[in-house]
Amino acid sequence: MSTADLGLPVDVPSTALFTDRYELTMLRAALRSGAAQRRSVFEAFTRRLPEGRRYGVVAGTGRVLDAVENFRFDEPVLEFLEREGVVDSATLDWLAGYRFTGDIWGYPEGEVYFPGSPILRVEGTFAEAVLLETVILSILNHDSAIAAAASRMAVAAGGRPLMEMGARRAHELAAVAASRAAYIGGFGSSSNLAAGFRYGIPTIGTSAHAFTLLHDTERDAFTAQVDALGRGTTLLVDTYDLTSAVRTAVEIAGPELGAVRIDSGDLLLLAYRVRQQLDDLGAKDTKIIVTSDLDEYAIASMAAAPVDAYGVGTSLVTGSGHPTCSMVYKLVARATSDDPDEPLVSVAKKSLGGKTSVGGRKWAARRLDEDGVAAAEVVGTGAVPAELADRQLLVPLVRHGEVIGREPLDSARARHITARAGLPLSATQLSRGEPVLPTELM
């Protein structure tokens, strides 16, 4: 079952109101001026990466495609717009038949990006394309921020499993999107059942401290959990005394105990102590899972510790200090009339304060060095140089209004591993630095 089959779990009839009022007032004015049907090109990009980040990760593309398909102005929405005086009757009539009929190209989900990368290119009439600005940016900014944090944590984990556990630290719908983005970035499972249902992400979870506190003794709690879930379950061992809890856990479950979870204290020190105790008790195959406000730096600090998996919540779903990617959506080219064959002319914002943009319908390619390692992000207009023809990054996602770029989530996850591996080694350093690739404009 696809996400399109399931629909979007939101409290409004469509994604059309996931927008800002000025998108509709611009439409109203453009319809009046006669410019609304001019062929236009919008691009989503970021002028800079979050401070200290070496690369960005594209995530949310699949959700963007769902949102475009569900962007419809039905009767309740139109009635709201009329009641609030947002648009006039002529604009309401136009919105009633809204369907995006243009083309969308973009970096495939899971790919890495850099400042100036044309992450998404939307082509259609001004009226069609301008309405999609807010929902596109909302999705890409959020999901790409989570995926970038997840990628850094995956690097820090060095192949050890990562579990996303941040649902209680985010808006309920954002939490589902965060699980999806984290999976693309390298997390292997989620505690969020909605994410498992909607996207097929493996789900995990056993018990919290409340379960232990419910019972008269820790032994009673462990016995109940093992009886219900089997010896391979994970027991939370830091409610009272850690050493006593580990001993009790092995006594009840035996050496077949799946794992113990440590959720507080000096995790590095405790992991060594618990590993030694488990080995002494004959539970050599019992794994150690650590949780408790982890981020990429805390994970990296435990690289040599006997930790088997990490559970991450707050830091992950908030982008590890960077909850947005500062992406923008700008008009970069347009026709000078509503003739569909009219040539496009470049347009660009020119202002003070670093908020300029580069005009023109762009392509992007990644130049490699002699060893096959990425050396530069090349962005240009016009003809693509022959030596970069097979290194182009944008792929078709929507053609004439029909989605053609939807893919399984695992494809995006696998793509990110490949894309990250193709970057210079310094890309995976957690220390602050500039983008690992320069962006060259042609």
Q: Which pair of structure tokens corresponds to residue 283?
A: 């539970």
Closest by alpha carbon to 264, among 211, 311, 306? 311
End-to-end CA distance of the chain: 43
Alpha-carbon distances of 353 from 254, 350, 391, rounded to whole Å: 65, 10, 33
What sign for the dihedral angle of Cα 203, 206, 211, 213?
negative
CA–CA separation, 294 and 312 (whole Å): 6
Please give the backbone phi and psi of residue 351, each rounded to the nearest 5 degrees, phi first.
-155, 170
pLDDT band for position 14 (cuts 50, 70, 90): confident
pLDDT band for position 440 (cuts 50, 70, 90): very high
Residue 8 has pLDDT above 90, yes or no: no
Q: What is the pLDDT of residues 231-289, one digit of tens each?
A: 999 999 999 999 999 999 999 999 999 999 999 999 999 999 999 999 999 999 999 99
CB 115 within 8 A of CB 52: no
Instruction: Identify the pLDDT of residue 243.
Output: 98
- Amino acid identity at 116: G
CA–CA separation, 294 and 303 (whole Å): 13
The residue to which tokens 């970057």 are assigned: 423
CA–CA separation, 347 and 136 (whole Å): 21
Instruction: Identify the pLDDT of residue 311.
Output: 98
| Percent of the chain whose pLDDT exceeds 70 | 97
Closest by alpha carbon to 39, among 427, 336, 408, 403? 336
In the chain, % helix, strand, coil (3-state, to 5) comes to 40, 20, 40
CA–CA separation, 154 and 166 (whole Å): 16
The residue to which tokens 């690992």 are assigned: 436
Instruction: Identify the pLDDT of residue 327.
Output: 97
Closest by alpha carbon to 180, among 318, 7, 317? 317
Q: Which pair of structure tokens corresponds to residue 395?
A: 């792929």
Mean local confidence (pLDDT), 5-25: 74
- The set of long-range contacts for 13-16, using a CB threshold of 8 Å and a minimum separation of 24, is 13/72, 13/74, 13/76, 13/77, 14/70, 14/71, 14/72, 14/73, 14/74, 14/77, 15/67, 15/70, 15/71, 15/135, 16/71, 16/72, 16/73, 16/77, 16/95, 16/98, 16/131
Q: Which pair of structure tokens corresponds to residue 291?
A: 């949780």
Q: What is the pLDDT of residues 355-404, one digit of tens each?
A: 878 999 999 999 999 999 999 999 999 999 999 999 999 999 999 999 99
DSSP string covering 58-80, please? ---HHHHHHHHHT----HHHHHH
Residue 5 has pLDDT above 60, yes or no: no
- For residue 378, the number of C-alpha atoms closer than 13 Å in the C-beta half-sphere is 19
The C-alpha R_g of the chain, in whole angstroms, comes to 25
Closest by alpha carbon to 121, among 109, 103, 142, 137? 103
Q: Which pair of structure tokens corresponds to residue 408?
A: 């399984």
Alpha-carbon distances of 218 from 41, 205, 225, 267, rounded to whole Å: 63, 19, 11, 21
pTM score, whole prediction:
0.94
Q: Which helix (H) or strand (E) holds 226?
A: helix 218-229
Average pLDDT for the chain: 95
pLDDT band for position 432 (cuts 50, 70, 90): confident
Q: Which pair of structure tokens corresponds to residue 13?
A: 């009839």
Q: Which pair of structure tokens corresponds to residue 15?
A: 């994604």
